[in-house]
Amino acid sequence: MTPSQTELLQGTLDMLILKSLALGEMHGLGISRRIEQVTRGTFQVKPGSLFPALHRMEEEGWLSSSWGESENNRRAKYYQLTKKGRRQLENETQRWGRISLAIERALET
């Protein structure tokens, strides 16, 4: 881990995956790249964390998946948000907004 990278806090990965899929379906590597991109390299999600989370989120009904071809013509599983997943993203976004505001306040004092 480089000095600019940070370990994900418990529960953060779900929100980042849901947010990554909010604009449309993606395969696992695409989700990982999107998270790294939007966090400007702060979070790099390894397959050992990403794929169990995707599987769990699919079981929760937040994601659905289908097989397709990736940009390099390989078979890949594509994930997309379900209605339940969109509601979960809204809930997670509100929850993390409250958490980050509370931490910001604590750091100011």
pLDDT (tens digit per residue) in 57-105: 999 999 999 999 988 889 999 999 999 999 999 999 999 999 999 999 9
Residue 75 forms part of a structural domain: yes
Closest to 79 (Cα-Cα) out of 11, 29, 6: 29
Q: To the nearest whole number, what is the mean pLDDT of the chain? A: 90
Q: Tell me how far apart the alpha carbons of residues 12 and 6 are, in angstroms, rounded to a whole number.
A: 12
At 80, which CATH number? 1.10.10.10
User: 40-47 long-range CB contacts below 8 Å, 24 or more apart?
Assistant: 41/4, 41/5, 42/4, 42/5, 42/6, 43/5, 43/6, 43/8, 43/12, 43/16, 44/5, 45/8, 45/13, 45/16
Residue 1 forms part of a structural domain: no
Residue 58 forms part of a structural domain: yes
Domain total in the chain: 1
Structural domain boundaries, residue 47? 12-108
Can you give the pTM of this predicted structure? 0.86
Could you identify the residue written with the tokens 């910001």? 104
DSSP assignment, residue 7? P
Q: What is the mean pLDDT of residues 23-42?
A: 94
Question: Residue 54 pLDDT > 70, yes or no?
Answer: yes
Residue 2 forms part of a structural domain: no
Question: Residue 3 pLDDT > 50, yes or no?
Answer: no
Residue 6 forms part of a structural domain: no
Q: Which strand (E) or helix (H) includes residue 67?
A: strand 63-69
Q: Is 108 helix (H, G, I), strand (E, B) or coil?
A: helix
